[in-house]
Structure 1
């Protein structure tokens, strides 16, 4: 009985697959093979590679594999020959039952690129089963009053083979009373019937035995037999007769248990017990039918006792028997056909034909991610399935064929925003009400190198004290990359550039792994104040991406330079300077002016002057800020003719740096008054002084013209060479000799010390309007430029153009003070320059930190 249940299950399943494959067979491009069942393992089905148009190398390279919708792997592919071969024994009867068509559907999946082919293998029946009767002994009881020509249906033989291999004919052993007739019934079945050739005579023969043989149409022919035993009974010669030979009923598969199905009625014209009818199912009804249906033996009412399932079995044919209570009992037969109607009670199923592939984030729209199929066990609209994706999804479903779809990318992907997707695919049928199923497909987005490294800031400012220790760390830069793996591994490097015509790589070194920048040597603020480093961060992707950042390195000044004396000049005489002054000098007489500069900046360059030692401290004083040496009182006859002053010059740095200069002053009688005092003498009209004044004016004018021409030439040259030279500052200085006002100008270049200057000499040494000096600072990219215009009196008019190295100001305020022949310039940043007697002197570098 179990075998028969399995047979019916396979039969209906095969019937469902038959209609499914029949629909699929209409699709162009499918491959179909036909093989007999029971082939040996390894038997060749066909050359799959050739039929699919694939080369043998593609089978291995593209990973061709075969999947069967039947569940068991009956076939495999010989990768060496491209042939589809049998992998396991195929029993058509076990696989498809008695279905007319038995087709195995194979899905051939090929990767790289992903493709799906449909291959059908039809399993042909062979005659490997003999007809079998449900019972080997059939017992019939026939009344002797039965009239000749009466027919008695007997059990039909079953042959699980199909087509010509199924049961085709019956024969019976020779008997004088009985012959065999074949009756065709619905469904193409043939039912054997015994026909009474002449009336029976129980007294002559009470029992008849006949050999019933069933023959199939195979080659060779197979057969099965059953022994029919006929017991001849006495007189109850009427059997029950149903109103219909065939009853047809349609039931919905959701019909409730206990519902009445059909009322059967059979009548027997006999009287008494011979006319009482009892209803029952046929002798060989499967248990599956008995579990679903019940018949009332007295009333003939059929009821549903189980749960119908259209997908399991959609049709039932039930034999009903009606027997009387006579002796012998007589019976009538009818057939009930029950058709099960489908309702939408099965939700769709979603199958992943191939596992989802990981997708690079730069994949173009339409890239196939996975192959998906949908199935619904219901029929009609209840079995039609529609797949949907959520709104706003980055993927689309592309229909392929017969409820097969390809999941493809819909738009561009960005792994940095979403590295993976859980895609909910909903399958909904067209039933009423519709049923749906949701499956989640996980898709991973792989990284490509589409993000360059990004620095934490585009510009870095580093402040470094000069005289630093070589090898010390300057700064650390950092960059990040949104990519993964090698695409996010960053190496740092310094782009080649020039700093003072030297490669920046000779100044600094960068650790390529962590971005730490180290100094290669000690820096000097006076030589280099600021420079830039272009740092590049590059990832290790292919192709690699990079970005740059600028590091501004500012060298901070340290007080490492002592003040340098630029006047009085001591290049030839060491630290000793000789000055002369008349004994007639009054209090406040300007003896000389000490001028010093400091190569440092800020507070480190603030200079102050102090009289450290003196032969007579009561006679001279030094201005703290200007360095002017003046008499504190009038010179007396008792003062020594030789005076020695030691002047200390200090800056305002920490620690303090200082230098000294020794000034030797010779007091002489009858020495000309300095130009500072000529202003008072000239105011007294006299013929002698007027004539001297006229000569002095003419001399000064001629020398001034020549000096201006020379200064203009020097200025032009200075401007042209300003890129390579420092800065220019021209100042007027004292002359050592003024005896020949018409002498040629002398130009002297002084390159000693931190201040470079050009000195133009001409005229009397006492004439402070006959000398011009151009001072050039190597620490500045601009020039301090001072021009003293000669005058016939001691009232000087300066024209000053100053550009400071550390603070390149664009606007200067000029202030002329008619006090002691002194002019002062102020910059917007409160840089103050004092000019006296043509000597350029920085009075105050900074007054604020």
Structure 2
């Protein structure tokens, strides 16, 4: 039992006095039962039992553009259900009670009784985790920063509206001895202000980047959390001098070495970054002028070239001292010694050195299958210290997916020539062959393998473009409708699929889909509410990024004969009808009409006279509901008739409805309602002038009538020819046109003129669309059928009585 309670909404500063209060957790499936309004309000206690079936409940529509109904009320029983899945975060503000007011109008028949205000409290569940605006943030410290330096990072927000579920606490996750701490303070709006504090010294050359994590956890049961990855970069100061790769470089050269080839290549590394790590090379003052005259140093690359040949008889070893200086302020420098030995010409095989971009074991590299054509995979350097053609080397790589491209003298790069696909081939073997131009030529080869790693590059695909299913209405919930199936050849999360239904808030779908693609009902389907549902199923994999696909689904709700027909005319039961019969005129009385909410054969109706036709005076058309006299009416037939009519549908089992009519029959002696009075001349003799006038009038009328009939005949013949061309019945068309021309043949009509055969009417009913099907809709009648039914005239003595004149 829910007692009326008044609720004061402090946020809206509005007071509502509600009749009932119900509670429901957010996230429940549509159709969740909330409560019995009729029972909880004791509304039925003061209403007689015979009138309780007249009580109806209806929810008042919200006058808000774009809003949708959150709840639905059973019209007859007054039970309250959810109309869609409720989300407190979308409906309410944070840190406040989430509720909605439902206004329900209660009527007795068509009379208004009262409006009930129902408060539905939507209880928040901890269905949202704290969320940072970004998964990763980048902050920067300098290796010269002091302890206590602080860098701000974004805070997390929890979309839950409950106070407990949205309260967030933070903690820092880092490795031991990392010099960082998390600082948390409170902002004026109640949110947290986060920052990373420096608690120790930094050395960029030892470690130039850190990855720490900030964990945000709410207090909901159960607690949920999210992680913010904080990437910390350490900027440089010029605190390192350049360092040569060797203290002493020892090289051997031929006296005939080319001036274009370097004798030696010096390499110095400065651990500082950017401009502070930029290095230039110079001969130091310790290098003799004689050596400087034979050698040239490239200050940018560190390459040493032979400037001119040595003369015979000179020394075979020369010492060069090179200084490497960085561009810092102040600049720092270091020194290396280069020993150059002159040797005789030899012929040695080249050596191949392959350096892969990706970290991998020896002779094995890994690449991703989504790498673009032309991507750099490995650097190949060939070494051959021989002089002349003995040291000239050519290298080749034969492969359909990869190619070897020259970067200069004895330097190459391996790139992707054609796209690779892990689903086709996940492993490639290749060999680089190098050969010099000496006599005899010497060669070398290097074999290695490349493994292709999987990425989520294939969308899930459905077996069909459209899935079609059908079920009967009125079945219990959780009935299986059918399966949809999708496949994905990707590995791991990229091949793990989940299904969901694409819906909008305007239309309720009585279905749900499981993880295995099984579609089932969540409420009992109703053919009269909706007979066909068209929607889409979304399938997506668990890869990063996730790929998805959709498929169309059509579910047909087949009809069952669960609605009985009902009379729409007469609209009251019993019904009184006064009929005045004029002899020699139409025997049609009136047309009964009925409707059925079912469709097809379940809504195909037949009319019968159940009682009161003992004299066999009346007959009714089973398919149109046309009530007529079955024979000639005499004065003995006058009087009241208590007729009972029944209408049945064609379902299995058949359902029916009855109505009663009190028909009061009056026989008129007149042949028409208005009779023309022709005066009779008392004199037995005819005056000569009168005779002349009569003759002239007779001749004139004869000419006019003859001309008029000739026009009718000519038009009929013309319409007959046209009707044969159009495939129409010429006699019916002529008859219809004559009626509009007021031809004499269209003065009266019989029952056969208005009757519609059962086969024609049945086809009309079965082919009609819509959830309602009237037995004889007025817009479906032929014009000739409408014209033969006498108009109803209101009776002056009673509300339920009508008078019909039969012409």
TM-score (normalizing by structure 1): 0.38
The one of the two structures with greater contact order (alpha-carbon pairs below 8 A, sep at least 6) is 2
TM-score by length of 2: 0.40
Larger Rg: 1
